[in-house]
Structure 1
């Protein structure tokens, strides 16, 4: 085994893998003039219409940051903000058709890039990696008050 093939420690391996994944997503997002946080926003909105406060929790942003993020996305025609009929202080955010088309393009390219990163793994190794990563993500979400499956991946 060459020194390049030696096993990294768990922390280093996860850190390096995280860098690879985040860099792949950042490069694809940049091709569409999106930041990572904008890409995560669109990913979250693919299957839900959260309130501004819920979005802030999902994305770990304060009120002013989430307001600016939504305003920029709204100017691009990617999202819409609607005021609740029940409580006028509450605004919900939903993705537009343009936003959905954009996030689907990014997600498709991202899947290809991740597939390329995992090309040297056997199918059963990919399944094991998916299962273990899902357990870690699910446990973290529960610790932070979210139900697993409530944040779409693009983040």
Structure 2
């Protein structure tokens, strides 16, 4: 029984040792893409979230772990750039929704293409079945 416990602990350490450099490589790509497009990492995250949903400001702030005031400033700057817009929530008139503008949608599509190209040297090392399995495992982790 001791060997199984020790093996699990070692596997956990080995897994963390494998995940960290992948996370660093991914973050480096995101930072580079952000810098090339004059976008902070936080704004990249916002655009990624808004890609497939229209959250309330409060939900967006909570998801990102930001204070409401900080979130409002970030969204105001993105609005000035024409990337996002705000509108009254239809179900709750007191709440404000945030969503991508047409310009924001186009930018997100370009960013995703840049991200895919930048990560391709890493992901193309795997065959199609391994990439599919990795995708499924990563989705299950989150």
Which category of TM-score, normalised to the shorter sequence, fits these structures? 0.7 to 0.9
Task: State the TM-score, normalized to the length of structure 1.
Answer: 0.77
Task: State the TM-score, normalized to the length of structure 2.
Answer: 0.84
2:58 maps to which residue? Answer: 53
Aligned ranges for residues 84-103 of structure 1 at < 5 Å?
84=89, 87-103=92-108
Structure with more helix by fraction:
2
CA shift digits 1:65-120 (9 cap, x unpaired): 21111111011111111123664431111110111111110101101112221222
1:35 maps to which residue? Answer: 40
How many equivalent residue pairs? 130
CA shift digits 1:104-144 (9 cap, x unpaired): 1010110111222122212222112111101101xxxxxxx
Could you say which structure has the greater relative contact order, defined with CA pairs below 8 angstroms and 6 or more residues apart? 1
1:26 maps to which residue? Answer: 31
Larger Rg: 2
Q: For structure 1, which runs of at least 5 residues remain unmatched after alignment?
A: 1-7, 138-155
Change (3 A) 1:131 1:87: closer
2: CA distance between counterparts of 1:76 and 1:54? 22
RMSD of aligned C-alpha atoms?
1.6
2:140 maps to which residue? Answer: 135
